[in-house]
Chains A and B, each alone.
Chain A
């Protein structure tokens, strides 16, 4: 599944239209805790989160994120979107909750990232 396909399934809004959305997404992880995200993502991962502060983009400097889905209608500000564009990091916002979004993607065949 690509980010573009996944955005459709989540009825999501693409916040970074100029960033490539056609890369395959290998796996995903959902969390609002930065330390958890750092600890659990050992491979290229899609992140689902409710966090919209700049540190969520900073995270992608440390670990390999293929994109970020902001759940429950959360939308980051323009500055944060700019930070993501600079890094070529795709951002999508969906009105679905974290639980719903994760369920929809899991049901569509997107596996959980390996946490060990």
Chain B
């Protein structure tokens, strides 16, 4: 899978984009898609709420299962979504996930209320983590969440800056 960086502001990357080459030609269309999804699911994620975080991903997985999506693909969707949900709970002031399910793919948008990511390249590095002890004690903070999302997504777009909200887009095709 190829990684391409589409935007660089001074030395700081403002957007990190990873695209499975099979879908390279569709990226623009996918992000400009204004057709109505078949199903939309929405979940709020609160800061440090490790009781409810993950419910959104579990619900998304169940919904996709009912559509008859291949178990291996279902698993990739669940893992990417779960890591992203946990990141909102662990590292942000809270946010939401919205899953738009289309006939042949799912597009999940995670948006939080900041504080944003200083250095995207560093955040994407396996092993890098700023997780606090509370988060580490729960088994998170290995610095493998974003790399895990990248591995499981066909398209991943991470958009953030220091003192801004973070938006993560994850797209996975059903075929």
Stretch in contact with the other chain, from A5-13, A28-36, A93-101: A28-36
A23 within 8 A of B: no
B69 within 8 A of A: no
Nearest CB of A to B39, in Å:
18
A78 within 8 A of B: no
Give bound CA distance, A43 to B140, whole Å: 22
Give bound CA distance, A61 to B79, whole Å: 10
B57 within 8 A of A: yes
B79 touches A62 (CB 8 A): yes
Give bound CA distance, A49 to B139, whole Å: 10
B78 touches A63 (CB 8 A): yes
Interface size bracket, B side: 20 to 34
Which residue from chain A places its CB closest to the CB of B89 in the assembled complex?
A: A55
Stretch in contact with the other chain, from B17-25, B47-55, B108-116, B161-169: B47-55
Q: Which of B67-90 contact A (CB under 8 A)?
A: 72, 75, 78-79, 82-83, 86
Nearest CB of A to B89, in Å:
10
With A55-B50, A58-B54, A61-B57 as known contacts, state yes or no: A38 contacts B82, CB within 8 Å: yes
Which residue from chain A places its CB closest to the CB of B146 in the assembled complex?
A: A35
B54 touches A35 (CB 8 A): no
Q: Which of A63-89 contact B (CB under 8 A)?
A: 63-64
A17 within 8 A of B: no
B78 touches A62 (CB 8 A): yes
Question: Which A residues lie within 8 Å of B145 (CB)?
Answer: 35
B142 within 8 A of A: yes
Could you name 29 residue pairs across A and B whose Cβ atoms are closer than 8 Å? A32-B139, A33-B139, A33-B142, A33-B144, A34-B86, A35-B140, A36-B142, A38-B79, A38-B82, A38-B83, A39-B79, A39-B151, A42-B72, A42-B75, A51-B139, A53-B139, A54-B50, A54-B51, A55-B53, A55-B54, A58-B58, A61-B57, A62-B54, A62-B58, A62-B78, A62-B79, A63-B75, A63-B78, A64-B75
Q: Which residues of B contact A (CB under 8 A)?
A: 50-51, 53-55, 57-58, 61, 72, 75, 78-79, 82-83, 86, 137-140, 142-145, 148, 151
Q: Which 10 A-B pairs have the closest CB atoms?
A: A61-B58, A35-B144, A58-B54, A62-B78, A34-B139, A51-B139, A33-B142, A35-B142, A53-B138, A38-B79
- Since A35-B142, A36-B144 are in contact, a sample of 10 more A-B pairs with Cβ atoms closer than 8 Å, ordered by chain A residue number, is A35-B144, A38-B79, A53-B137, A55-B139, A58-B53, A58-B82, A62-B54, A62-B82, A63-B78, A64-B75
